Amino acid sequence: MSLLMCPVCRQSLNLAENTWRCEQGHSYDVAKQGYVNLHVVQHKHSKTPGDTAESVLARREFLQAGYYQPLQQAVVEILQQLKPKAILDIGCGEGYYTDAMQTVANDCIGVDIAKTAVQRAAKLNSKVTWIVGTGATLPVQNHCVDVCTSLFSPIPQAEIARVLNHGGHLIVVTPAPKHLYDLRAALFEQVNLHEPHKFVEQLEAEFELIQEQVIEAPLSLDQMALKNLIAMTPYAYKTNPERRMLLEQNSVFTVIAAFQIYLFQKRKKPSI
């Protein structure tokens, strides 16, 4: 049974001859790269939303080099414990984490607003259902997903609650307080610690915190990896260009990546 929902009329979508269709007659062709675009024009706020092509390419090269593999492995281990049948990765980007998630579940959906990212992701793993879409209206039916994941991505709380089944789980990954601290200290005059716990407070009404952990990965970056790391983050356009240029002259740069992982469970609605 299909898990997808038409973003226009909210009816279920079914795949027939490389086209997703709903009963109202809306149809969406699967692109030759293997993804489907469900980001309809009425939901768009810009012509090319999401990450730039340069940022997507930098992230692909950096992640494929294995620098964040400890995080990928930690997420997979949590999923193995949960044994989900269906996973939805919100903000899947170019697919590095989603590709690994697919090995755990029968159905795995990766959705991202950036078309260039999903085009790259679709080449990684044809068993994933890759979608260009928005978290504001997740193109997934009600209560049909066992686990939602959001790794360094927006957390559309109401939509996640809608698509998760009763007792379903949400995995959130966000920077731990000292994530890439030395890198940020080189790029900015003032460096504030990340505040991951704010997400626990934001989600408290509908999600109960079940588990939390911090994963640290010491990185020794050559010049190309350093440039890719900067280019794939918001630091690329937030920092002073001169500071960035000076930092990128390093032939080797060491820094610690620190990831905060939260596992939530959807709260049961009180019976009336």
DSSP 92-141: -TTSHHHHHHTTT-SEEEEEES-HHHHHHHTTT-TTSEEEE--GGG-SB-
Q: Is position 92 annotated in a ligand binding site? A: no
The H or E element that residue 224 is part of is helix 223-231
Q: Is position 201 annotated in a ligand binding site? A: no
Q: Is position 9 annotated in a ligand binding site? A: yes
Q: What CA–CA distance (Å, rounded) separates 50 from 55?
A: 10
- CB atoms under 10 Å from CB of 263, counted, come to 20
Buried b (16+ CB within 10 A) or exposed e, 242-262: eebeebeeeeebebebbbbbb
Q: Is position 166 annotated in a ligand binding site? A: no
The answer to whether 271 touches 233, Cβ cutoff 8 Å, is no
Q: Is position 17 annotated in a ligand binding site? A: no
Q: Is position 26 annotated in a ligand binding site? A: yes
Q: List the binding residues for Zn(2+).
A: 6, 9, 22, 26
Q: List the binding residues for S-adenosyl-L-methionine.
A: 68, 94-95, 179
Q: List the binding residues.
A: 6, 9, 22, 26, 68, 94-95, 179
